[in-house]
Amino acid sequence: MAGEETLVHINRLVLENFKSYGRRKITLNLTKGLTVISGPNGCGKSNISDAVQFVIGQLRSKNIRSEKLAGVIFSGTKEGHKTAPHAKVTLILDNSKEPKQIPIATDEVHISRKVYQDGRSEYLLNGSRITRGEIIDTLAICGISIDGYNVIRQGEIANFASMSPLQIRNLFEEIAGIAAYDEKKEKAQKNLDDARTKLRIATVRLEESMKNLTRLEKEKEDALRYQELKVRIKNTEAKLIHARIREMKERIGEITTNIDSLKEAQTNAETTIENIETAIKSYDDLLTEAKAKVKDATTQSFNTLSKEIEGLTKELSEETAKKKQISIELDALKLRKDTMENQLETIFEENSELEGYTTSTKEQIDGADVTLQKIQEELDSKRKALESSRSSEIMDQLEEIRSNTTEMNKRRSEYESQLAIYNNNMNITNSKIDEREKRVVEVAGILATFLSRKAKYLEEISEDEKLIRDLEVKVSELREELETVEKEIDDNELNVREAALNIKRIQTEIITTKKIMAEVADRDKGIKLVLNARDDKKIQGIYGTVGELCKTHPKYSVALNVTAGNRTDYVVVEDDEVAAKCLILVKNAKAGRINLLPLNKIKPLVINTDVKEKGIIGRAIDLVEFDKKYQKAIEFVFGQTLIVNNLDTARRIGFRHRSVTLEGDVVNPTGLMTGGFYKGKDRTRISLIVEDETQLPVLEEAFINLQEERKRLLEYRTEIAKELNEELLQQLNDIIKNRDLKQREIKITEEEIENRSEENLGIQTELEELTKEHEDIEVKIEELLTARKDVGMTLDALLEGEMKLKEELAITGVQGILGEIKTKESQQQEIGDIISNLKMEHFKITTNLEKNLIVVKDLKEQIEGIEKQEPDKEKEINGIQVVIDGLTKNLEDKKVNRDSLFDLIEQSQNEQERLEREQREFREQLEVERKQQTQNLLLIDRLVVEKTNTDKQIAELEELAVERDLPYIFAEDEVIDIEVLKEVMTGLKAELESLPEINMKAVSQFEEEQELNNELLEKRKLVEKDFEAISKAINDIESEKREKFMAVFNNISKDFNRIFGILSPDGRARLELDDTDDPFSGGVNIMANPGGKKILSMLSLSGGEKSLTALAMIFSIQRYKPAPFYIFDEIDAFLDINNVNKVATLVREMSKGTQIVIISLRAPMIAAAEKIFGVTAGEDRISQIVSVSLDEIMKIVEKTDLTSEAEVYDY
């Protein structure tokens, strides 16, 4: 490469808004030789290398040191510089030398690339939009590649140094252009495969030709035997045909006789059927009448009677409850009267005793008064005697004391009497209070009992109400169910009749359809022959006629039969091979012509139109039912027709598509219109199956189920009526009756509760009054006790004074008189106490008597009131009982009527069932007669058809005999055994059929096949020759590929050793193959011994040695495959200063023949430059590019600390 002049090189590099260079345009004017770009770390030097890779089409953002492609756009700074909208780089190449290396007429080629914030890129070539692929292809012409080694990025030396042997071999393959050889080999291999295929085909065709020769030779022999058999078969067939004609004429006579007898039987059957139908109709009238009776009885009389019974039951319940209520009230009155009378009797007895006590007490009081008077007289006498003595003064004093004592004793006696009275009143009040409190407790217990009874009744009534609601719901449901069952019975009647009609219609339709199909099949010998072959399994793959394979609804039968036309006779077969067999079968039998639809070949045309248009029913194909297996054949028949409601719709759309109306009118797209009166099924061709015979057993089973359902419904109706009237309504009435009784009991209980509450209130009032009275008596007693105490104290003082006076009197000698007076006074005191007690007792008795008299008066008044009420209550009870008896009798009568109605309904139902059973028997008999009639009709039709067919067959056989020239070769009276002839014919045909398919052109075909065989032999020789030539070409490609690879390997290895010697004078280097025999099976190893050390693989070298070795390898590759320019980014970063000098010298030498741009901070490299650019970053951190002298740049380098870096990487 040294000494060579480069042609294409970079004139200028223009950066706009690119990375750290800010929102502006920077132009870098480059020289042809060595240019060095230098500057402090982080100032943006490597962005120049990134810009070159960016503009030549690099897509991998990491290769241009960015997270994403839009990352190369200037992103602004904190100092206020805004983000740019896009970035653009333009590479201006010098293309002035002739001939032009870049095939563009201009002396300068401008290549630009712009990227936007959303990542979109656009490429320009001399200002015109161009694709990335076109840019890459244009640059490749002059040796510029995105992934080539003309641009070495930062750190890429280390990546190269760590490449594996296989990666290095792949790199050599790329340099040598091995991919082109592989492509050639691939094409050659494909040609070889094609040749191998052709050879195989030629061999197969030759083998097939040999087989054909063998086969044709055998066919030639079969043809001769075939001609011999044909002659014998013709003679035998002549005899057989004429024998069959004679036999058929005899059969026609028998058929005529049978038809006459069957027609006579038909006449008799029609009379029988008419009689049965008349009987069935009469049963219809009887059944209608019986049903009306049942319905009237169940829906009107029965419901009315049930409601009346329900009303009477409710009324009876109310009257019974009313009677019970009054009876309870009467019993209560009697009980109260008895209680009052007993109480009155007790009071009378008590009063009698009290009156006896009063008399006795009065007598005692009178006796005590007499005794007291005598004692007083005696005292007065003693005192007078005492007054006549000398101690009168003392006596006066004693008399005064005695008088005061007597007064005090009298007062005390009054107090004692009053205390006794008040104590007695207190006891009476306490007794009344105890009595009232006891009564309060009793009334409270009675109230609790009544309240508990009321709560119980309320709870029971609530349960009864719930039961009533539930039963009313059930009654309502049963009545609705009864109505539903009635409706279901009516619906069932309609369904039974409809089912019977459907069964009859389907049977008639099926019989008619089969009859027509049988007639057509018998008439059309070809169809019959093919279908027999199917049924006898002689030919596999015959499915049947279109009419057999399709079904449709009766509604569409006319339209679809018109749509299909005579194509319902077409026979559907599996494939064209089966069709061919069928045609041969018909042809051999001379059975006319037949249309076949092979499923593997038929290509139906199916219209695809919007069937939602008004008046359109649908596509004909959609209105037939068929097995999807036969879809192609059915589409062939029905696929191009629409079924419409009427002729107006057909006219509206029919000139676009073939349309058929439900009445059978046809409108064709050609303009042809066909229609008129459609008389029904055409007995000359097979019709579509309108009714599915498989559905008949289902319908018959459904008919039987409907009859059973009707019987079940009738039984169910009886059960519902019975449950409703005999169970639910009776149960409902009983519960209502019990509920009403409980409600009356509650009313009585509430009255008792009210009475007891009022009584309790009265007792409480009395208790309050008695309590107040009790308190007043206690106050009075307290006052009397105080007064009595005061009197007692006065008496004690008087007694003391009396004792002193008596002592004074003792001196006077009147002591004896005083003793007697004292004794008398004591007696007087005792009798006075007795009288007081008796008077108190008399007072108590008198008070109780007065009280009892008041109670007696009150009780007599109450008893009189009760005695007045009793007759009214009894009279009211008797009146209610009369009403109850009338209601009970009326209810029993209604129940008897209901039971009679039940019996009537049951009898009517039984009668209805009997009529239905007898009518069903007549229907069954009618069905038997109709089936027999149908069988006779079918038999007559079959015999007529047989006669017609036999006549036709005779005519056909006679025509066939004439057509085939089969003369009558035996006498009329000659006995011919047809079976023997058939056996002979069968044997001959069997032998004929056993022969393979006869090819009468076998000789000529054999000669043609022989000639073809020779040609195939020559062709196979030519193909074998081509195969050998292609195999040789593949081997040549492999040899040339290896030679090319080894040439590249050897040249690069030679330059590698030389360049490595320049960089390491005492060292040697070489390239080694893992497999020298097959270089493509292994890798390429880079071996080196820098500084005379032991030779090692590059992977085993130290860091600096790896870098030096990698640079030597890269320079060797570049020397072998030079590029117009090279961009090296700090390739000297890991080298010590000595190695930098060596690399700088080498690069300077290389730059004489090519353009080199190096980004470097190393002084030797900068010193070697022809042109130097300095890159700096200002305070705004935006990169600046200036062209500087060597001295200026060296000053910058000196300021940059490279010592430590060099030390780190100096190995």
CATH code of 9-150+1123-1209, in short, is 3.40.50.300
Answer whether 676's CB lies under 8 Å from 647's CB: no
CA 963 to chain centre: 74
Q: Considering only CA atoms, which of 725, 735, 564 is closest in space to residue 634?
A: 564
pLDDT value at position 384? 66
Residue 704 burial (CB < 10 Å; 0-12/13-18/19+)?
Answer: exposed
Answer whether 135's CB lies under 8 Å from 55's CB: no
Residue type, 906: E
pLDDT value at position 303? 63
Give the H/E segment covering residue 552: strand 551-552
Whole-angstrom distance, CA of residue 500 vs CA of residue 494? 10
Packed helices 631-638 and 557-564: angle between N→C axes, nearest 10 degrees? 90
pLDDT value at position 1095? 75
For 569, the 3-state DSSP assignment is: helix
User: How many residues belong to the chain?
Assistant: 1211
Q: What is the pTM of this model?
A: 0.37
Q: Considering only CA atoms, which of 26, 27, 45, 47 is closest in space to residue 36?
A: 45
| DSSP per position, 714-742 | HHHHHHHHHIIIIIIHHHHHHHHHHHHHH
Residue 235 burial (CB < 10 Å; 0-12/13-18/19+)?
Answer: middle
Residue 848 burial (CB < 10 Å; 0-12/13-18/19+)?
Answer: middle
pLDDT value at position 511? 66
Q: Largest Cα–Cα distance of the chain, in whole Å?
A: 216
Whole-angstrom distance, CA of residue 1166 vs CA of residue 1191? 10
Whole-angstrom distance, CA of residue 953 vs CA of residue 957? 6
Residue type, 234: K
Angstrom distances, CA of residue 240 to CA of 246, 978, 986, 987, 1025 = 10, 6, 12, 14, 65
Whole-angstrom distance, CA of residue 244 vs CA of residue 966? 13
433-471 exposure pattern, b = at least 16 Cβ within 10 A, e = fewer: beebeebbeebeebbeebeebbeebeeebeebeebbeeb
In this structure, are strands 641-644 and 658-661 parallel, antiparallel, or unpaired? Answer: parallel
Measured from the Cβ of residue 223, the count of other Cβ atoms closer than 10 Å reads: 16
Give start-end residues of each CATH 3.30.70.1620 domain in the chain. 551-688
Whole-angstrom distance, CA of residue 190 vs CA of residue 305? 105
Answer whether 1071's CB lies under 8 Å from 1057's CB: no
Whole-angstrom distance, CA of residue 956 vs CA of residue 245? 10
pLDDT value at position 344? 72
Residue found under tokens 């009639």: 933
Whole-angstrom distance, CA of residue 822 vs CA of residue 1053? 181
Whole-angstrom distance, CA of residue 228 vs CA of residue 992? 10
pLDDT value at position 861? 72
Residue found under tokens 């780089």: 89
Give the H/E segment covering residue 613: none
pLDDT value at position 694? 62
Query: Residue 930 is encoded by which pair of tokens?
Result: 């109709």
Measured from the Cβ of residue 289, the count of other Cβ atoms closer than 10 Å reads: 14
Whole-angstrom distance, CA of residue 1072 vs CA of residue 1070? 7
- Level-2 CATH architecture, domain 551-688: 2-Layer Sandwich (3.30)
Query: Residue 878 is encoded by which pair of tokens?
Result: 């008797």
Query: Residue 815 is encoded by which pair of tokens?
Result: 């002591």
Whole-angstrom distance, CA of residue 1180 vs CA of residue 79? 6
Q: Which residues of the chain register pLDDT less than 50?
A: 1-4, 390, 683-687, 1201-1211
In this structure, are strands 596-598 and 571-573 parallel, antiparallel, or unpaired? Answer: parallel
Give start-end residues of each CATH 3.40.50.300 domain in the chain. 9-150+1123-1209
Measured from the Cβ of residue 1087, the count of other Cβ atoms closer than 10 Å reads: 18
Whole-angstrom distance, CA of residue 1194 vs CA of residue 1188? 10
Measured from the Cβ of residue 596, the count of other Cβ atoms closer than 10 Å reads: 22
For 1175, the 3-state DSSP assignment is: strand
* Neighbouring-strand partners of residue 1174: 38, 1186
Residue 51 burial (CB < 10 Å; 0-12/13-18/19+)?
Answer: buried
3-state secondary structure 173-206: HHHHCHHHHHHHHHHHHHHHHHHHHHHHHHHHHH
Nearby residues of 875 by Cβ (< 8 Å), 6 or more positions away: none
Is it true that the peptide bond before 554 is cis, omega within 30 degrees of 0?
A: no
Residue found under tokens 């770009």: 37
Whole-angstrom distance, CA of residue 13 vs CA of residue 913? 115
Whole-angstrom distance, CA of residue 469 vs CA of residue 719? 22
Angstrom distances, CA of residue 839 to CA of 362, 411, 461, 796 = 8, 16, 64, 27
Q: 941-970: per-residue pLDDT in tens?
A: 677 777 777 887 788 777 777 777 777 666
Whole-angstrom distance, CA of residue 518 vs CA of residue 550? 17
Answer whether 756's CB lies under 8 Å from 398's CB: no
Residue found under tokens 């217990």: 445
| DSSP per position, 218-249 | HHHHHHHHHHHHHHHHHHHHHHHHHHHHHHHH
- Start-to-end C-alpha separation, the chain: 31
Answer whether 1118's CB lies under 8 Å from 150's CB: yes
Whole-angstrom distance, CA of residue 340 vs CA of residue 346? 10
Nearby residues of 73 by Cβ (< 8 Å), 6 or more positions away: 17, 18, 83, 84, 85, 86, 87, 115, 116, 117
Answer whether 1059's CB lies under 8 Å from 1032's CB: no
* Neighbouring-strand partners of residue 1177: 1183
Nearby residues of 451 by Cβ (< 8 Å), 6 or more positions away: 753
Query: Residue 68 is encoded by which pair of tokens?
Result: 């994403």
